[in-house]
Amino acid sequence: MSVALPVVAVVHDLASADPVTVIGAARRLCAPVFVCDRERMRPDAAWPGAYATVIDVTGLGPDERAAAVAAVLPAGVVTFSEYQLAETARLAATLGLPGHAAATVDVLTDKFAQRRALAAAGVQPTRCAVVTDVDAAIAEVGLPAVVKPRVGAGSRHTSRVDTRDEFAAAVAAAGVPVVAEELLVGDQSVAGVGFGDYVSVESVHTPAGSRQVCVTGKFPLAEPFRETGMLLPSPLADESAVLALDAAATDALGIRHGIAHTEIKLTPDGPRVIEVNGRLGGYAWEILHRAGGPNLVAVALRLAMGEDPQVSAPTWRGVTYQVFLTPPAAGGVLVEVSGVDAVRALPGVRKVDVHAQPGAVVDASVGTQAHLGLVYGAAADHAGVLDVADSVRSLFRPVLAEAVGAPR
């Protein structure tokens, strides 16, 4: 006789783990039910109801949403989306389930509040201002600076600005409330030539304590602040300072539940926090699991149910990588791509996923979401990863035409 699995409500949106991935991670663990709002779905996204149980909350108010989720008697509620952290915490509190505290969600989702909290705790002072007046913000933060949405993810509408005109243009282009921050200047020599001047730390948190799972290395950013890929293990000779900063930052923000993803800049004066995210990092689960680490999607589901799961230390098998297929910063309309077969033939390449179709408008201002696909693979060592990354960049050739009236 089969025993019914506990239900976990998954609040769905732009996410680091898609419904198919969540369903796979939940096998024999729980029954995921996806909480979806059609108004939050991307126009090109498939409605998950074709292969998963869905609670359609489109048009419902907060109390109605909570009642709809309560009706399935969930043992937990979780999200893999930055944009649903507040809603997920609200549902968890309403239903008496584990989740982020409301105050923690505030500092995780509001970049200005996060900077203030880190400074108040003595973790890291960073010049930061909410931009209501361009000149006042420049006076407080200085130039060069970084302008970014006060609430957002994936480097969307994030720009380096070196002049007042660039500052004003970036604020106008964002179209949402923005903050300006001092520019954290990286030191490429810390990770080594060919690698990015920043890393991320993936960590697991329960009331019983926090555990850091790994430091994820990165490839250099593409303009403007677009990620181009990641690798495990990181190329850092010594990860201790990065791990210490991550532990201090997550503790200062009050993270006591779930998974955190902390991005850290490697500067000449030591590591500096870029931002702390209160959910699983984009694509982090896949590369970690393939590299010999735990499945963090399954871990997140266990955490949602109030468990304190054992998280094994990764056992690295060579160097595992993801290389993002990144278009030119100018963007445009994708006409065609060439070189995909040549990339697939590279030694160590496991899979090439090109998800952008001809006719798609490519807009670099949306950050990481602008990439055209991913290359998955592994190499014997870090030098081999650099060779593959260089080959991918030389072989993959997207052809773009100027986008007339493209949204910015």
| 393 pLDDT higher than 80 | yes
**pLDDT, position 395:** 97
What is the pLDDT at residue 45?
Answer: 74
10 Å CB burial of residue 96 (0-12, 13-18, 19+) is exposed
How many residues are present in the chain? 408
> Residue 263, SS3?
strand
DSSP state of 396: -
CATH code, 147: 3.30.1490.20
What CA–CA distance (Å, rounded) separates 89 from 98?
Answer: 8
- The string of pLDDT tens digits covering residues 243-261 is 999 999 999 999 999 999 9
Residue that finishes a domain, picked among 59, 75, 97: 97
For residues 311 and 323, state if they share a domain: no
With a threshold of 0.85, does the pTM exceed it? yes
* Beta partners for residue 361, in sequence order: 333
Please state which of the ranges 10-24, 295-309, 349-363, 392-406 shows the lowest mean pLDDT: 392-406
Q: What is the CATH number of the domain that holds 16?
A: 3.40.50.20
What are the tens digits of pLDDT across the range 168-198? 999 999 889 999 999 999 999 999 999 999 9
The residue range of the domain holding 263 is 188-315
Alpha carbon distances (Å) from 233 to 211, 288, 322, 349, 388: 17, 9, 12, 17, 16
209 and 297 both lie in a single domain: yes
Least-confidence region, from 1-15, 26-40, 359-373: 359-373
Report how far apart, in Å, the C-alpha atoms of 100 and of each of 13, 80, 93, 103, 253 are.
18, 13, 9, 8, 11
Q: How many domains does the chain have?
A: 4
Q: What is the pLDDT of residues 200-213, one digit of tens each?
A: 999 999 999 999 99
Q: By three-state DSSP, how is residue 235 classified?
A: coil
